[in-house]
Amino acid sequence: MHKKLFLISKEGFAVSQQDATSYGIGWKYADQQTAMPLKSDVYDVVNDYPAGFGFDIGGIEYAHTHNLDGVAFTDMKTLMVEAYKNGGFVTVSWHLGNPVSGGNSWDTTPAVSDIIEGGAYHETYKLWVKRVADFFKSVTYKNKPIPIIFRPFHEMNGSWFWWGDKNCNTIDYIKLWRETVNLLRDEYNVHNVLYVYSPNKLNATDEYLKYYPADAYVDILGIDIYDFYNTEDFIKSVQHDLNIVKNTAETHNKLFAFTETGLEKLNTAAWFTNTLYPYIKDSGICWILFWRNHTTNHFYMPYKKQALENDLIEFSELPKTLFLKDIQKIKIKK
């Protein structure tokens, strides 16, 4: 998978979406067919699937049957395998609950120091990681676990999650990351994962590597930047931050990606072709992930008859945008 991502980055970038086949505006997978052709808002507009498929495993830690957004883990598994067997790739975020308070990811009760080694909730956390491990190992195609691009504890430089900046100290954050990787890899034998480090948009005083767990624990560098209805500010951040990520990736010999982005409700004309494309086309990212299409108040990709439908079609025809059919052509020479 690493090699394929590298080859992708030489041709352009893989256009990806969170929950692209899980649900969209006015439909959900659970009511659809079980194999390709699967429904997808992106497919309805551009006649092709995204190249990358994002999923979130929040809820798996409690052994829930559905994730925090109502997607059944059994369905998620099917959709991950469908994505992979058709030449796409799978990224996974984890909006996990707060192990100390029992609240959600946005419950900022301090918890990181309690779940790392020596903490009162360490055993609970180990069980949580075991559940993640069991899930990752169970997503198989031809009897082999498929590659998973895992992006845990994201946006740690913000303070909205319990693992974020003001809610834990950097040393503990790094310990948590390393222990998580060690548990997955060495204790629970998970070997189908690439790990992505992805801070949120950098503020003036933020240092990209402040929470970096070290090269041995990270495979790919990333950044999350949303457009909060401020085109100028968004473009500035995209240029500035992607440049830092690129330089850092070069020094550390890593691939890098634009791990989350979007403009909620897509109400800026020509957002894909004008606001976004010019600033990412030569950035060197291997993929870009747009967030989910939940409702008409919370969506990030055009659907049929949405105002930016034609803009997404134009975007898909630009030289660097790669959808599923484009990356199917990229073959790894053995």
Residues lying near ligand BMA in the complex (CB under 6 A) are found at 56, 68-69, 95, 292
The residue (of 261 and 316) whose beta carbon lies closer to ligand BMA is: 261
Distance CA 132, CA 63 (A): 9
Burial of 77 (C-beta count, 10 Å sphere; 0-12/13-18/19+): middle
The distance of closest approach from Cβ of residue 103 to ligand BMA in the complex, given in angstroms and rounded to an integer, is 14
Question: Helix, strand, or coil here: 150?
Answer: strand
Asked about 260 being catalytic, the answer comes back as yes
Spatial neighbors of 88 by CB under 8 A, at least 6 apart, are 49, 50, 51, 52, 53, 324, 327
From residue 46, how far is each of 114, 269, 319, 324 by CA, in Å?
47, 18, 15, 11
Q: How many Å apart are CA 31 and CA 53, to the nearest integer?
A: 19
Rounded least distance, CB 134 to ligand BMA, Å: 21
Per-position b or e across 173-192, b if 16+ CB within 10 A of its CB: bbbbbebbbebbeeebebee
Min CB(303)–ligand BMA separation in Å: 16
Find the catalytic residue in 61, 82, 179, 260: 260
Active site residue 232: no
Specify the residue, 161 or 212, whose C-beta has the smaller distance to ligand BMA.
Answer: 161
On the CB side of 303, CA atoms within 13 Å amount to 21
Q: Which is nearer to ligand BMA, 180 or 200 (CB)?
A: 200
Nearer to ligand BMA, 56 or 165 (CB): 56
Minimum CB–partner distance for residue 19 and ligand BMA (Å): 8
CA atoms within 13 A on the CB side of 99: 20
Residue 318: how many other CB atoms lie within 10 Å: 13
**Residue 236 or residue 298: which is nearer to ligand BMA going by CB?**
298
Instruction: Name the catalytic one among 61, 82, 155, 179.
Output: 155
Q: Nearest approach, Cβ of 224 to ligand BMA (angstroms)?
A: 10
Return the active site residues.
155, 260
